[in-house]
Amino acid sequence: MRQGVYDCLLALTIVFSVLNPVLAKEPLVLISGNLYQHRDVDPQEKHLLALFSQALSGEFAVETLWLNQQMRMSMIRRFDNYCSYNAIRTAEREQHSYFSRYPSTIYPSRKLVSLKGRFDGLPERVSVSALLEQKFTMAIVGMSYYGELTPLLSARPEQIVQLSGSETYDQLISMFERDRFDMLIEYEDFVRRIVGQRDVLQFRQIAEYDNSPVAGFFFCSISESGRRAVDIIDDFFRSKAMLEGLRDFHTSRFSPGDQALIFRQFRELYGLDLQKGQTQH
């Protein structure tokens, strides 16, 4: 009797060992698009991450991670089953990643940031080129894309400080106060999420930018898994749940004026009407 039980268990073990590779879902790692890792104060970011994870979970066993900008770009280049979102699409990045058709975020252009009082006397639009000529130092987040500023920043590495993207409020303010750098180039939204309600910083528009909104996209490693994941997300972008998630994400972050501009970009460039929760074509 006991031998019969053992034989039965052995047979089941063999069957499951054969079937398991077929039945098991392929693993996929989804990295949050929140570049500053402040998950505890960012419920809309967590909701957006959950939406993407839910969409992919039908085909993949999804694991979610929170990494800074440098780490997430490195992981997607090194491994064939990593995805993330909120990345600007560039020719260089397309050599290492598949990108979605629709954007996961649209942001106003980056701004110059400094401690309150340091911009006194400067106009609302300031030239980064002119400031670099005056020997001011600038902080940037490593492996981010800066568009028209890229050649200016690359030409003066001795005046550029690279941040990891995981800095806390205390670290950021301390670096300002210790003159590690004079100014930070970053999205106003990202910085305000670090400083919260503290009235300690000033912002200026960057003259080299035309102030057109910047789109960030969902993207994955170049692999069969990455291609399938991007296809799934492209279909999911047109769902009511995702359209509502994108609307709530952008409404929670930006002023009514910025929202109007962002929603118009989604509607006119991508056919996604976030306000009505429907697609146009």
pLDDT tens for 60-100 read: 999 998 887 778 888 999 999 999 999 999 999 999 999 99
Per-residue pLDDT tens over the stretch 129-185: 999 999 999 999 876 788 889 999 999 999 999 987 777 778 888 999 899 999 999
H-state helical runs in 125-198: 128-133, 150-154, 169-177, 188-195
Domain ranges of the chain: 6-108+213-279, 111-206
Has residue 216 got a pLDDT over 70?
yes
Long-range CB contacts (within 8 A, 24+) of 163-170:
163/139, 164/68, 164/69, 164/70, 165/35, 165/36, 165/37, 165/68, 165/69, 165/70, 165/141, 166/36, 166/37, 166/68, 167/36, 167/194, 168/194, 169/194, 169/195, 169/196, 169/198
Q: What is the dotted CATH code of the domain comprising 111-206?
A: 3.40.190.10
Class of domain 6-108+213-279: alpha beta
Per-residue pLDDT tens over the stretch 248-267: 999 988 888 889 999 999 99
What is residue 210's predicted lDDT score, i.e. its pLDDT?
85
Q: Which residues contact 70 (CB under 8 A, 6 or more apart)?
A: 141, 142, 143, 164, 165
d(CA 271, CA 279): 6
d(CA 187, CA 260): 18
Q: Which residues pair with 186 in a beta bridge?
A: 111
What is residue 83's predicted lDDT score, i.e. its pLDDT?
97
Same fold, 6-108+213-279 and 111-206: yes
Burial of residue 64 (number of CB atoms within 10 Å: 0-12, 13-18, 19+): middle
What is residue 10's predicted lDDT score, i.e. its pLDDT?
38
Q: Which residues pair with 98 in a beta bridge?
A: 220
Per-residue pLDDT tens over the stretch 92-125: 999 999 999 999 999 888 999 999 999 998 999 9
At 220 the three-state DSSP class reads strand
* pTM of the complete model beyond 0.85: no
Report the 10 Å Cβ neighbour count for 186: 23
pLDDT band, residue 5 (cuts 50/70/90)? very low
Report CA Rg, the chain: 23
Which of 35-39, 76-80, 161-165, 187-191 reaches the highest mean pLDDT?
A: 76-80
Mean pLDDT in the chain?
Answer: 86
Has residue 11 got a pLDDT over 60?
no
What is residue 33's predicted lDDT score, i.e. its pLDDT?
73
The residue type found at 79 is F
